[in-house]
A and B are shown apart, each in its own frame.
Chain A
Amino acid sequence: GALVYQYPRRTICKSGTSMRMECQAVGFQATSVAWYRQSPQKTFELIALSTVNSAIKYEQNFTQEKFPISHPNLSFSSMTVLNAYLEDRGLYLCGARETVSNERLFFGHGTKLSVL
């Protein structure tokens, strides 16, 4: 079956430092990967949508300078939170699918980021 492994599951970083999270797709080709953030008491907010061989599209309020994403092949994607501060804490989720169209996303477990 199709699975997405996301790691680390939890991480704590000092204010102003950076942390990277990764997603590995197993059993399918992750043509399209979406990165979401769920801040405390909020729903999942789309950060960016990445499609292999296309430019990464960032949503309003999210930038490549703050959340650089790499999607080098059909099984792997990573995202870094640069200069993390308190407002960046939350659950970061990657969702991947085989096509760019409206099909189901397979989600990883999420990376819970705490910032000290």
Chain B
Amino acid sequence: GDSVTQKEGLVTLTEGLPVMLNCTYQTIYSNAFLFWYVHYLNESPRLLLKSSTDNKRTEHQGFHATLHKSSSSFHLQKSSAQLSDSALYYCALGGSNAKLTFGKGTKLSVKS
């Protein structure tokens, strides 16, 4: 079945440093959608980025990710971390049956 791997459970960074959260996936569905959701404490998870186009960079609110089907990856990046970026980040895969499969999540902690 479909699966999503986020290897890092916790990423701790100093403000101003670049962010890179890893996401790889497995699916047999050739037109899979990949999503990044951000979950702040006491709020509902909300969509940050999504893509289904190979090798096309997608950007939103300073974050960007490029879907690479050859390596089954959709890593989330930001050039400079801010304190307000501290949250849980989930990578998710939308497969053939519209079911969304989540990774385990990466907690990003940005310190001053």
Contacts and interface: CB of A to CB of B under 8 A. Distances in A.
Interface of A: 4, 6, 32, 34, 36, 42-44, 46, 49, 93, 95, 100-102, 104-105, 107-110
B44 A101 contact: no
A4 B101 contact: no
9 contacts: A46-B99, A46-B100, A46-B101, A49-B98, A102-B31, A102-B33, A102-B95, A104-B35, A108-B44
A100 B97 CA distance: 8
Contacts of A34: 99-100
B83 interface: no
A43 B44 contact: no
B105 A93 contact: no
B25 interface: no
A110 B33 contact: no
B98 A43 contact: no
Nearest to A3: B44
Interface of B: 31-33, 35, 37, 42-47, 50, 52, 90, 94-95, 97-105
Nearest to B103: A43
Contact of A49 (B35, B45, B50, B99): B99
B36 to A, nearest CB: 11
Nearest to A6: B44
A79 to B, nearest CB: 16
A97 to B, nearest CB: 8
A109 B43 contact: yes
Name, among A34, A95, A105, A108, the residue most crowded by chain B CB atoms within 10 Å (CB to CB).
A105
Name, among B102, B103, B104, the residue most crowded by chain A CB atoms within 10 Å (CB to CB).
B102
Contacts of B43: 109
Nearest to B43: A109
Q: Which 10 A-B pairs have the closest CB atoms?
A: A102-B94, A102-B33, A44-B102, A107-B44, A43-B104, A104-B47, A109-B44, A107-B45, A43-B102, A100-B98
